[in-house]
Structure 1
């Protein structure tokens, strides 16, 4: 794994998300890959439940400011970044008020949000566009 560039994409990760098996593994795997010499970049959505002040998220102006067309709507892409406490890992957050500002993550009142498909597409396209802007080519996408 020495020298490999790994793009790690997740929707949940400790400490930004409540601890569960998926959110814990989403932190443990990149830590392990990095300790084995990989260059790891982590991306996740900036859901409304993530406290920007507590987790010290800040906008990356040079990566933000692009718009993406989703379902015939022009949506702004905002990129924020934070460092995982106690680790040498950075997390890039894909943000957009229309899709991710809500306090609930996937739905409310036992109903999924009707635009979860658009939200997922926006997130995936946002990751790809940001990686291009970073001029960073991953060897592995996880």
Structure 2
């Protein structure tokens, strides 16, 4: 099992939306590095941190689980869709998505301002300069554990 962090602006899709739906696809990713993670590395059963980005505060909102591994994002094939890609074809899709299930919402957001002070996260892509726009981030087990421990200490679980 691997660990991941996936970012979404809660204005458009937040942890409460996933909780209401139960399972939802993570579509619309248009970053090659994030796409490669979803297409090549994410597996059914992997655990994922749901991170609210572009929010006040931005931070960890809950936990999800991968229930369907990477498959072509159909929005890339539809000219009327905002995520349409004229270079994508059914034979050679360019963009992928995964399906995620709701596991748990934190009682409060674990803000980025607090994550920055967790020593175990110093080498994580979440805190690395230049990776701020990356919406899918692999986590090492120590990163996952450190975030879960901080949430427990703050009684967010």
Q: TM (normalized to structure 2)?
A: 0.29
Give the TM-score, by structure 1 length.
Answer: 0.31
